[in-house]
Amino acid sequence: MGVLALLGYNAYRRRGSRLAVRLLGALSTALLGVFIIVLETLVH
């Protein structure tokens, strides 16, 4: 999840987005990781 958060942050940083948008991007990509973990747990 940490790696996903960094990837999301860096993607928005490269676009020149403001800090708040970068943090929201990092949070959303980290939450995507949490969602995938939960789905894998439910499926298995």
Flag whether pLDDT at 37 surpasses 90. yes
Mean pLDDT of 14-25: 96
* pLDDT (0 to 100) of residue 28: 96
- 17 phi-psi bin (left φ>0, alpha ψ -120 to 50, beta other): beta
Domain count, the chain: 1
* pLDDT (0 to 100) of residue 44: 84
Interatomic CA distance for residues 43 and 6, integer angstroms: 27
Domain of 16? 2-43
The reported pTM is: 0.82
Mean pLDDT of 11-32: 96
